[in-house]
Amino acid sequence: MTESPARVVGEEAKRIKREALGIADRSKHHKRRAVPLRRRAKETGTQQRVYQYRFYPTVEQAAQLEQTFGACRWVYNEGLALRARAWEQHQVSVGFAETCRALTGWRRAEGTSWLRDVSSAVLQQALRHLDGAFSRFFKGTAKYPKRKKKRRSRDSATYVRTGFRWVEDPERPGTGLVTLAKQTEPLDVRWSRPLPRGEVPVKLTVTRDRAGRYFLSVLVEELIEPLPAAFLPGGTEPKAVGLDLGLATLVTLDDGSKLGHPRLLRKYADELARRQRELHRKEKGSRNRGKARERIARLYALISDVRRDLLDQFTTRLVRENQVLVVEDLPVANLLRPAVGKGRRRKAKLNQSIIDASWGELLRQLRYKCAWYGRTLVIVDRFFPSTRRCCACHAKGPRLDVSVREWTCEECGVLHDRDVNAAVNLRDEGMRLFWSVAMALPPGRPMPPVIKASELPEVHLAA
Ligand SMILES: [Zn+2]
């Protein structure tokens, strides 16, 4: 390992920032007395929740948003370059506040005066996102931040409270007129459901997906009451459910019920495979290739919408009915990719990517719903042999090919449905982890909303 150079701090760092990096000093604020930041007291149990709506911009609004997205992307990339240069060339670390001061400079500079056409609060939020990306990198949970590319990265712009106007419609509470900074007309928002009673938007994010659709994400802080605890009959044992994700069925529960891949998704998957074959035949850089790519992006958008809605109803029901929900750290199907012909291989790969995405979405929804409603999500280690273990006698069976849907345990002779057996194993292993955490918890302390096996050092895998 190469030794990392020592960080430059103090007056020397200030000088470098001022002279080499062009970041203005904070002199303006130096003479003013520091005022402590007054934070709005948050009621306990307040959770941030995002509601998403589609909207249709006018031609002017679309043009203004295009400019805003472009400016956000530029500022993000410039901030990234500045932070990288500061460290690589001068061993100085540059934080959020300093990138904001640099932004003031960019807005004043002659060559980049077009940045003045976009609200500075919105551009600061782009730097805030960059700062978040760096924090995740330093924590080790993400890779080094990447430059945002036109048409490759999703376009987005975030407006904090000062960056938009909200006028609630007295006739239809929870809906209203939203006007963004630097725009004159309110947006044409399709309020598919009203915001919760008495809530006002705290933050807005405007996005345009690769299929060219516009969305408004409204963040509100609302009080979410945890649900009463769910117990098994008898009232002492928490009710638990194991979820197995697979190729044949999307989700199988330990009670044997299944959530299939919706026919619609399968149809889209077939179409996607066809479109992708088409794309490969198109010449690189040609107009037709661009068009084919756009069609694929639209399909992906459709697929993710269908999947999100489907999983939303499903996870809400599961979280209502159960106290403990157990999933696997990675779908096992990943490790059992069938080796078949080239065309089928591509299709299998595609199916796999759809399952991976479903799993990601499922996990995301379970995570936040468990936190909201006072449930516990247990994520079992991916090396746990959920498919191979017999749930009746715990004997380890043979490795199973994906095509095998049923198998009989050689030890005890029980016939298993492959997925149900896996779901039962997951539930049992999850409960074992749940109790090991519950026992170690000081009395009166609530259970954490997430237990991840790979983050529990003292828990060993059950044989
Ligand atoms: Zn057995």
CA distance 452 to 372: 18
Residue 218: Cβ within 10 Å count: 22
Provide φ and ψ at 204, rounded to 5°.
-120, 140
pLDDT value of residue 270? 83
The radius of gyration of the chain from alpha carbons, rounded to an integer in Å, stands at: 26
The pLDDT of 269-286, averaged and rounded, is 83
What pLDDT digit, counting tens, does each position of 291-343 carry?
888 888 888 888 888 888 888 999 999 999 999 999 988 654 444 444 445 55
pLDDT of 35 higher than 80: no
Residue 195: Cβ within 10 Å count: 21
Q: Indicate the residue type of 204.
A: L
449 C-alpha vs ligand 1 centroid, how far in Å?
33
Q: For residues 224 and 437, which has the higher predicted lDDT (pLDDT)?
A: 437
- Rounded to the nearest integer, the mean pLDDT of the chain is 85
424 C-alpha vs ligand 1 centroid, how far in Å?
13
Confidence bin at 263 (pLDDT 50/70/90):
confident
Tokens 């298993």 appear where? 416
Catalytic residue list contains 244: yes
428 C-alpha vs ligand 1 centroid, how far in Å?
15
390 C-alpha vs ligand 1 centroid, how far in Å?
5
Start-to-end CA span in the chain (Å): 38
pLDDT of 37 higher than 80: no
pLDDT of 363 higher than 60: yes
- Contact call for residues 250 and 259 (beta carbons, < 8 A): yes
408 C-alpha vs ligand 1 centroid, how far in Å?
8
CA distance 212 to 216: 13
> Considering 78, 199, 419, 429, which one is annotated as catalytic?
419
Highest mean pLDDT (candidates 177-191, 222-236, 276-290): 177-191
As a whole-number percent, the residues of the chain with pLDDT over 90 amount to 45
Q: For residues 55 and 1, which has the higher predicted lDDT (pLDDT)?
A: 55
Helix (H) or strand (E) holding 53: strand 46-55
pLDDT value of residue 336? 45
pLDDT value of residue 348? 65
CA distance 299 to 265: 10
The pLDDT of 195-220, averaged and rounded, is 91
Q: Indicate the residue type of 224.
A: I
389 C-alpha vs ligand 1 centroid, how far in Å?
8
256 C-alpha vs ligand 1 centroid, how far in Å?
18
Q: For residues 330 and 194, which has the higher predicted lDDT (pLDDT)?
A: 194
pLDDT value of residue 40? 52
The pLDDT of 392-406, averaged and rounded, is 85
> Considering 98, 199, 222, 328, which one is annotated as catalytic?
328
Q: For residues 277 and 130, which has the higher predicted lDDT (pLDDT)?
A: 130
pLDDT value of residue 123? 96
- Contact call for residues 172 and 129 (beta carbons, < 8 A): no
Q: Which of these, 379, 391, 85, lies nearest to 255 by C-alpha position?
A: 391
260 C-alpha vs ligand 1 centroid, how far in Å?
27
What pLDDT digit, counting tens, does each position of 428-448 carry?
999 999 999 999 888 888 899
Confidence bin at 155 (pLDDT 50/70/90):
very high
Catalytic residue list contains 328: yes
Q: Is the dihedral of CA 362, 365, 369, 371 positive or negative?
A: positive
The pLDDT of 115-143, averaged and rounded, is 92
300 C-alpha vs ligand 1 centroid, how far in Å?
42
The pLDDT of 414-441, averaged and rounded, is 94
The pLDDT of 58-71, averaged and rounded, is 96
> Considering 78, 244, 254, 429, which one is annotated as catalytic?
244
366 C-alpha vs ligand 1 centroid, how far in Å?
31
